[in-house]
Amino acid sequence: QSALTQPRSVSGSPGQSVTISCTGTSSDVGGYNYVSWYQQHPGKAPKLLIYDVTKWPSGVPDRFSGSKSGNTASLTISGLQAEDEADYYCCSWAGRNTWVFGGGTKLSVL
Amino acid sequence: EVQLVESGGGLVQPGGSLRLSCAASGFTFSDIWMSWVRQAPGKGLEWVANINQDGSMKNYGDSVKGRFTISRDNAKNSLYLQMSSLRAEDTAVYYCAKYLGRNFDYWGQGTLVTVSS
Using a CB-CB cut-off of 8 Å, the residues of chain B touching A91 are: 45, 47, 103-104
3-state secondary structure of B28: coil
**Which amino acid is it at A46?**
P
Confidence of residue A1 (pLDDT cuts 50, 70, 90): low
Side-chain half-sphere exposure of A62, counting CA atoms within 13 A: 0
User: Which residue does chain A place closest to B40, by CA atoms?
Assistant: A103
Tens digits of residue pLDDT in B33-60: 999 999 999 999 999 999 999 999 999 9
Tens digits of residue pLDDT in A48-91: 999 999 999 999 999 999 999 999 999 999 999 999 999 999 99
Instruction: Give the model's pLDDT for residue A69.
Output: 97
For the beta carbon of residue B72, count every other beta carbon within 10 angstroms.
Answer: 23
**In chain A, % of residues over pLDDT 90:** 93
Query: What's the Rg (C-alpha) of chain A?
Result: 13
Position A100 pLDDT exceeds 80:
yes
**Contact between residue A57 and residue A73 where contact means Cβ atoms under 8 Å apart:** no
User: Which residue does chain B place closest to A104, by CA atoms?
Assistant: B44
Using a CB-CB cut-off of 8 Å, the residues of chain A touching B34 are: none
Instruction: Give the model's pLDDT for residue B101.
Output: 87
**Contact between residue A68 and residue A35 where contact means Cβ atoms under 8 Å apart:** yes
Confidence of residue A104 (pLDDT cuts 50, 70, 90): very high
Position B99 pLDDT exceeds 80:
yes
Tens digits of residue pLDDT in A20-43: 999 999 999 999 999 999 999 999
**Which amino acid is it at B78?**
S
Confidence of residue B94 (pLDDT cuts 50, 70, 90): very high
User: How far is Cα B54 from Cα B73, in angstroms, rounded to an integer?
Assistant: 9
Instruction: Give the model's pLDDT for residue A96.
Output: 87
Residues of B in CB contact (< 8 Å) with A are 35, 37, 44-47, 50, 57, 59, 61-62, 95, 100-110
